[in-house]
Structure 1
Amino acid sequence: MIHELSLDARLGLDKYEIDEEQSHIHIEHALCPACELKPCLTVCPAAVYVMADGVVVARYENCVECGTCQIACDTGGNGAITWNPPRGGFGIVYRYG
């Protein structure tokens, strides 16, 4: 019998090469307080963005590199997020499907 894996189980199979020297995500924190919708908190499929002490922070080591955060921030937020692909050799390695 074939069992379909949940999203969390599939993401758990992925491998991350963490770049501890340089994040590929930059947040311009001066723009965030005026953002009413804060779409970054809801659109990211890996829940990279969270509120911590009233400030949006990125847990970039969880990023699945889809770029949704920058699109959502540019169109529904204040344009505070700059997302770039990680440096060569770093980032996610998909192992499912």
Structure 2
Amino acid sequence: MSNCDVSEKLFTIRYKCDDKSHLVIKETDTCLKCATKDCNFFCPSDVYEWEKKLKITTVAYENCIECGTCRIACPSDNIDWVYPKGGHGITYKFG
């Protein structure tokens, strides 16, 4: 499993998806002004992606592994991160 992509690794976990994201971009203009788009690179499960046409950061919260990296790595503190509510979220198959 060492040479597989992120989507194959995400298959090893179970995620009970809520209908509402637990990850929110606070101010979309902040992402627009950020030249480096850091969140596109620090998230280990590719939750964040810059959409050039829309000029926004999209959030694929259903891929979130709840590691909290985005909570501390965003240089603008522009991501509102909370644990999913009501039994939703991640369950690791291998511990």
Fold similarity call, TM over 0.5: yes
Where 1:31 maps in the other structure, the secondary structure is: helix
Partner of 1:15: 14
In structure 2, runs of 5+ residues without a counterpart are none
Residue 11 of structure 1 and its aligned partner are, at CA, apart by 2.9
In structure 1, runs of 5+ residues without a counterpart are none
Residue 37 of structure 1 and its aligned partner are, at CA, apart by 2.3
Q: Determine the C-alpha separation between the residues in 2 that align with 1:39 and 1:69.
A: 9
Residue 81 of structure 1 and its aligned partner are, at CA, apart by 0.7
CA contact under 8 A between 1:51 and 1:57: conserved in structure 2? yes
Partner of 1:57: 58
CA contact under 8 A between 2:10 and 2:63: conserved in structure 1? no
The one-character-per-residue Cα deviations of 1:36-65 (angstroms, maximum 9, x if unpaired) are 222110010000001122211110000000
Amino acid at match of 2:48: Y
Amino acid at match of 1:50: E
Partner of 1:24: 22
Q: Determine the C-alpha separation between the residues in 2 that align with 1:47 and 1:11.
A: 10
Measured on the aligned residues, the alpha-carbon RMSD in Å equals: 1.6
Q: Taking every aligned residue pair, what percent have the same amino acid on both sides? A: 40
Amino acid at match of 2:22: H
Q: Give the aligned length.
A: 89
Amino acid at match of 1:41: N
The one-character-per-residue Cα deviations of 1:69-97 (angstroms, maximum 9, x if unpaired) are 12111xxx222111111103101110024
Higher mean Cα deviation, 5-14 or 56-65? 5-14
Where 2:29 maps in the other structure, the secondary structure is: coil
CA contact under 8 A between 1:70 and 1:79: conserved in structure 2? yes
CA contact under 8 A between 1:25 and 1:82: conserved in structure 2? yes
